[in-house]
Chains A and B, each alone.
Chain A
């Protein structure tokens, strides 16, 4: 589904991703772990199409489609979703208005008509209820006055509404209390499907207790330096990254 080959990307001429390879098949959940600054968020932004980064080498395809040939909104319409590590606040754009704009933009990109408002409202209410997002929050400016945990839940709500093929979750567990972690994980698990894949970036095993990964990767200095099964996450939890930082540097 997602195929990344020898990806190099830099920001302001500073190389961040340095030959990254990653293959994700439909239905799989991949976890990416790695020290701070190793380039995990950079990878997610490069995939999503943030302008600040320059791809200097390599390729990334989603179901065979060259992601780098598409604008950010086209990548989203092609089925890519990024749950931001730090979701942004947009005062004045009501959450509901934003959700509707996003859902309808993607429908239009697929050649479908806009979802009738009552149907859309019903859908949002249904999904929002499951994530503990109140109708008051939906009326507020996007993420404005939302707690850290509420912002993360809002990301999952967007994911649930947009039904992407590939979901990249960048530290969705950070800032969540124990109950919220459960709610968010259930939200994610509810979306697991044989034709949908997840790349879950996290520092902690506790998220992976809820969202069981099929594959765990260690990222260091802009590359995937080790790949293993779920047991790798436990090993990292116990031993830290010291080994990998050295290995990548070598």
Chain B
């Protein structure tokens, strides 16, 4: 018998079908959106949850990692909102337009909707009910049929639609805060952002959960028009029993600039997919991230940068520190389409193993169909340098503390590229907290 016969459904697949059937009528959107959801869910049903036999999920066997499907969360109660307020405390010092979702549901009392001039922010559930709903759900960048995106399209309950007017530099960042409270539910959120020509904005995306078993699925689509700039800082600090699936899809126009940083500090299993497409000439993208994992946690970064324009430059740099039996996966691909001459692409993934049982898999790839390009990739996996550790210890610094200093130095290289001081400090603090918890 072929194990791949799709009539055999996993418990999670069966549950997803049941949840979809019962939640469907209550999900926001007009008839066209409903149709879109149904198509997306049908696509998921046909493919099922990908196992390691599916190339793109070879190192992250979602069928094995997703043992059940949790119901879509309802409106949070007072206890959950109080917990969420606490979770937001570290962000209090960061002045931003703040849109807060608890378990995927908008919570006005934890939000600050005052926007900078030239910036409009709308709740996705409202947009879905208008004629623009279907468009909001189509990013046009992430791969067709990607299971995480398909499930998000099918189930998404709310999110943010943000638009920065041409020529406007947003005077305040926009913070989309996602907090998981309580337990045993799923939250699907989406951010749809467009930065008009010559516009400039900083987006902050956080996913926070203290305890509880959750499933989160987030999609961020970012359309950066000609001459515009977008910076996105994502902080993933989910509870250690959460399955976190996230997709970032970015389309860059000409002379546009993208800068992203993703911190992966939480979740039992997390997969961050990043798809960046250069569609106009002379644009740049800096895509970076740092991750920490201990115990038997799993961190996946899947990245595809597609150069389909002339003279664009991309820099990708990811660093991960792993302890216990944790595992990291980095799949990164730079694609240079025919005619995308003068492409300059460099990708680097580095993993630091702090224990014997930790494991890092890296699969960097280049697919180049143009001749006048400079592209390179590298991946390193290693332990801390014993000579350096001895130097630190010889000054009286205990082993764990010496390790912490070196891990800080290791991830510091990417964390320091975060321009916003408050965010940089927040991320640095989070790194320190992880390191302190080890000692």
With A and B bound together, what is the CA distance between A162 and B396 in angstroms?
9
Q: Which residue of B lies closest to A52 (CB)?
A: B386
Q: Is residue A97 contacting chain B, with contact meaning CB distance below 8 A?
A: yes
Known contacts: A88-B387, A90-B388, A105-B401. The answer to whether A82 contacts B394 by CB under 8 A is: yes
Contact pick for B391, options A51, A81, A90, A91, CB 8 Å: A90
Q: Is residue B393 contacting chain A, with contact meaning CB distance below 8 A?
A: yes
Q: Which residue of B lies closest to A159 (CB)?
A: B395
Contact code string B380-395 (vs A, CB < 8 Å = 1, else 0): 0000001110111111
Q: Which residue of A lies closest to B409 (CB)?
A: A92
Of A25-33, A71-79, A231-239, which stretch is located at the interface? A71-79
Q: Which residue of A lies closest to B402 (CB)?
A: A73
Q: Is residue B405 contacting chain A, with contact meaning CB distance below 8 A?
A: yes
- Does B395 lie within 8 Å of A87, measured CB to CB? no
- Does A101 lie within 8 Å of B397, measured CB to CB? yes
- Does A76 lie within 8 Å of B394, measured CB to CB? yes
- Does A73 lie within 8 Å of B393, measured CB to CB? yes
With A and B bound together, what is the CA distance between A132 and B197 in angstroms?
52
Q: Is residue B412 contacting chain A, with contact meaning CB distance below 8 A?
A: yes
Known contacts: A92-B410, A97-B405, A101-B405. The answer to whether A51 contacts B390 by CB under 8 A is: yes
Interface centre among A98, A106, A162 (most CB of B within 10 A): A98
- Give chain A interface residues in 92-107, CB to chain B under 8 Å: 92-93, 97-98, 101-102, 105-106
B256 to chain A, nearest CB (A): 31
Q: Is residue B399 contacting chain A, with contact meaning CB distance below 8 A?
A: yes
With A and B bound together, what is the CA distance between A50 and B389 in angstroms?
10
B408 to chain A, nearest CB (A): 7
- Does B391 lie within 8 Å of A87, measured CB to CB? yes
A111 to chain B, nearest CB (A): 14
Q: Is residue B413 contacting chain A, with contact meaning CB distance below 8 A?
A: yes
Known contacts: A51-B386, A71-B399. The answer to whether A93 contacts B391 by CB under 8 A is: no
Q: Which residue of A lies closest to B393 (CB)?
A: A72
Residues of B within 8 A of A73 (CB): 393-399, 402
Contact pick for B406, options A49, A50, A93, A102, CB 8 Å: A93
Residues of B within 8 A of A84 (CB): 391, 394
Contact code string A25-62 (vs B, CB < 8 Å = 1, else 0): 00000000000000000000000111100000000000
Interface size grouping (class) on chain A: 20 to 34
- Does B405 lie within 8 Å of A109, measured CB to CB? no
A177 to chain B, nearest CB (A): 24
Q: Is residue A158 contacting chain B, with contact meaning CB distance below 8 A?
A: yes
Q: Which residue of A lies closest to B405 (CB)?
A: A93
With A and B bound together, what is the CA distance between A109 and B393 in angstroms?
13
Contact pick for A98, options B386, B393, B398, B405, CB 8 Å: B405
Known contacts: A71-B399, A88-B388, A90-B388. The answer to whether A48 contacts B406 by CB under 8 A is: no
Residues of A within 8 A of B388 (CB): 88, 90
Residues of B within 8 A of A81 (CB): 394
- Does B396 lie within 8 Å of A90, measured CB to CB? no
Residues of B within 8 A of A48 (CB): 390, 394
- Does A93 lie within 8 Å of B408, measured CB to CB? yes
- Does A71 lie within 8 Å of B393, measured CB to CB? yes
Residues of B within 8 A of A49 (CB): 390, 393-394
- Does B405 lie within 8 Å of A72, measured CB to CB? no
Q: Which residue of B lies closest to A143 (CB)?
A: B391
B423 to chain A, nearest CB (A): 19
- Does B406 lie within 8 Å of A105, measured CB to CB? no
Contact code string B336-364 (vs A, CB < 8 Å = 1, else 0): 00000000000000000000000000000
Residues of A within 8 A of B410 (CB): 92
Known contacts: A102-B395, A105-B397, A158-B395. The answer to whether A72 contacts B409 by CB under 8 A is: no
With A and B bound together, what is the CA distance between A87 and B388 in angstroms?
10
| 7 intermolecular pairs with C-beta atoms under 8 Å apart | A51-B390, A72-B394, A73-B393, A87-B391, A88-B391, A90-B391, A141-B409
B residues touching A (Cβ–Cβ < 8 Å)? 386-388, 390-399, 401-402, 405-406, 408-410, 412-413
If A49-B393, A49-B394 are given as contacts, then 20 extra A-B residue pairs at C-beta distance below 8 Å, sorted by A number, are: A49-B390, A50-B394, A71-B398, A72-B394, A73-B395, A76-B393, A76-B394, A76-B396, A82-B394, A88-B391, A90-B405, A92-B406, A93-B406, A93-B408, A93-B409, A101-B392, A101-B397, A101-B401, A102-B397, A105-B396
A-B CB proximity, top 3 nearest: A92-B409, A76-B396, A102-B395
